[in-house]
Amino acid sequence: MDIEEEIEKLNEWNAQGRFAEVAAETNTLIASSVDETPEDLASLFVAQGNAQYGLGRFEDALTSYAKAIELDTFDVQARCNYGSTLFTLGRYVDALNACDAAILTDEDFAPAYINVAHCLVALKHEEEAVYALRQALSLEPDNAQLGRTVADMAADLEDFEIALETYLDVAALPDAAPDTHQAIHDLFVRFKNHEDVERNDWLAGIDQWREKFGSNPDVLRLTSDLLRTV
């Protein structure tokens, strides 16, 4: 089995929760490495770090990810996992810096933006966190769970426009949560007399909802309930 097959196997074992086996196997492979490229060796250290993280050995995982980054500065997964581990250890500012470095390495790597958002929430910068999550969502527009998180956070921050836009996008996805349309209804209830939402914008939002999902009987029922309160 060549090194790439070994790495694939180790990643599968990690996905199955076989962390102790991966930790032992990577120790052996790293100790006996001779002709591996820096990139392949970095991947071994990432697999080792993932196993150590799964075993709760967070400081060891940091060391493994750091070695991976040293070997391959463009390994965005190593940088992202390094940041995630710092976050787990409660080192939120360091984690944020690490995740920012991951984005600089690959600005199209959505998990890095998600990790940035986690750090920003922990640091009580919720509006910036929503922005980071929207960046991630632009890279993974079919991620219903991510979209729902963005919409819920925007609603909590009283940003009616972003919340509605995102809820409507999420509702169109095949794996949207069953209560998505109810969440849209609740958004309209919440913002019916909100000082920052014009009445015409509120009504236009209902029209937009109906136009997009008018064939859905639940949407017709929910929008009719809203319009009866006007």
Task: Check if the beta carbon of residue 130 is closer than 8 Å to that of residue 150.
Answer: yes
CA torsion 72→137→10→28, rounded to 10°?
Answer: 30
pLDDT over 60 at 84, yes or no = yes
pLDDT over 80 at 26, yes or no = yes
Per-residue model confidence as pLDDT tens digits over 50-70: 999 999 999 999 999 999 999
Region of poorest pLDDT, from 29-43, 62-76, 210-224:
29-43
Number of C-beta neighbours around residue 163 at 10 A: 25
- Tokens 């970095």 belong to 42
pLDDT over 80 at 196, yes or no = yes
Mean pLDDT of 71-83: 98
DSSP per-residue codes, 148-161: HHHHHHHHHTT-HH
Per-residue model confidence as pLDDT tens digits over 108-134: 999 999 999 999 999 999 999 999 999
Token output for 174: 């095949």
Among residues 45, 54, 42, 41, the alpha carbon closest in space to that of 13 is found at 54
| Amino acid identity at 205 | G
Mean pLDDT of 36-61: 97
pLDDT over 80 at 34, yes or no = no
Token output for 110: 């959505």
pLDDT over 70 at 1, yes or no = no
Query: Residue 2's pLDDT band (boundaries 50, 70, 90)?
Result: confident
pLDDT over 60 at 72, yes or no = yes
Task: Check if the beta carbon of residue 123 is closer than 8 Å to that of residue 92.
Answer: yes
Domains annotated for the chain, with CATH where assigned, are 1-72 (1.25.40), 92-140 (no CATH), 142-230 (1.25.40)
Task: Check if the beta carbon of residue 51 is closer than 8 Å to that of residue 69.
Answer: no
